[in-house]
Amino acid sequence: MVVRRGGSLEGRIASSEITPHEAFLNRRSFVAGAAALGVGALALRQVPGLIHSGAVHAQQKLATVASKYNVPDAQTPFAKATTYNNYYEFGTDKSDPAKNAHTLQTRPWTVEVSGLVKKKQTIDIDTMMKYRPMESRVYRHRCVEAWSMVIPWDGYSLGEFISAMDPLPSAKYVQFLSDDSNKDMPDKPGGFNWPYSEGLRMDEAMNPLCLLTFGCYGEALPNQNGAPVRVVSPWKYGFKNGKSIVKIVFTDKQPHTLWNDMAANEYGFYSNVNPNVDHPRWSQAHERRIDSSTFPRTVPTLMFNGYGDQVASLYTGMDLKKNF
């Protein structure tokens, strides 16, 4: 069965949905509410029913240093980036993850590193977060469905983590497996080859642009954005960037990916953003940019999402129409 996704692009965004970050969090009433209940802010996070009505709750602040990789584009408001999501484990509508992802328990959390690697290990997320100073990087984020956002992600280069794991020379690819536990994701839709699997060629994963991502907008990732750790490879379509990763596997063969299993003719392994290679069901020449302007604007899609200077050399000699 082929599940059709994103068949219709969503309509205009109501301006009421676009609220500045601070106003959206409404910290004053959040704090007042917590005090009235006699619980601390952290305890409040654990109370189901209270935390998901507004979809986003106060998150752990992250210390970050500035990055040289920022794009100058206008940023997407926090409220939009955290309520308009693809995270199918929590439902297939864009608004579902923000409503449903409160069941994801992000502590304790470990990431298992295995396969063709010297330092096979299971790492605690808090150790992983401290491994390198985090940068805030403002990246373009382009979904294969022809919409895009501009998001300040917080993390450090995936390559620095990979180097520390000491992969064997035979490791040619790295696979990322997302959480799929029934406890965290009790209502996963059927028809998908869970867990969510994605992968990169090793040289792609080692490119400094590839971000091991723990936060966005200066705070720990909201669950719907892939807490507590996800990948962001900004020159590729969004689905390459697995959320809530629990396993990293080094392999000598190209790993299977969930969307490629679903429809190989639509979702290739590379999936570099490419305005010259249409999706079988729509053009990829343009995208609807969801940013701080009142309504999404249609803007031309850039080759490699505008990151060609950093990544084009990874694909020298490859036919990008065949290796889409």
Ligand X SMILES: Nc1nc2c(c(=O)[nH]1)N[C@H]1C(S)=C(S)[C@@H](COP(=O)(O)O)O[C@H]1N2
- Residue 87 touching ligand X (CB under 6 A): yes
Instruction: Please enumerate in sequence order all residues whose Cβ is within 8 A of that of 226, keeping only pairs 6 or more positions apart, or say none.
Output: 87, 213, 241, 242, 243, 244, 245
Q: Which of 233, 234, 108 is nearest to 174 (CA)?
A: 233
- Residue 59 touching ligand X (CB under 6 A): no
- Residue 241 touching ligand X (CB under 6 A): yes
Q: Which residues pair with 251 in a beta bridge?
A: 173
Token duo for residue 100:
């449903």
Contact 2, 265 (CB under 8 A): no
- Residue 149 touching Mo ion (CB under 5 A): no
By rule CB under 6 A, what count of residues binds ligand X? 17
Instruction: Give least dist CB 286 to ligand X, A.
Output: 17
Q: Which of 159, 215, 238, 242 contacts Mo ion by CB under 5 A? A: 238
- Residue 89 touching ligand X (CB under 6 A): yes
- Residue 85 touching ligand X (CB under 6 A): yes
Instruction: Give least dist CB 148 to ligand X, A.
Output: 9
Instruction: Give least dist CB 259 to Mo ion, A.
Output: 9
- Residue 143 touching ligand X (CB under 6 A): yes
Handedness of CA 227, 229, 233, 239 (dihedral sign): negative
Task: Please state, in angstroms and as integers, the Cα–Cα distance from residue 48 to each residue in 91, 95, 101, 214, 257, following that order.
Answer: 18, 18, 11, 23, 32
Stretch that binds Mo ion, among 19-27, 84-92, 174-182, 316-324 (CB under 5 A): 84-92
Q: Which of 24, 78, 88, 161 contacts ligand X by CB under 6 A? A: 88
Which positions touch Mo ion (CB under 5 A)? 86, 143-144, 238-239
Which positions touch ligand X (CB under 6 A)? 85-89, 141, 143, 178, 196, 225-226, 238-239, 241-244
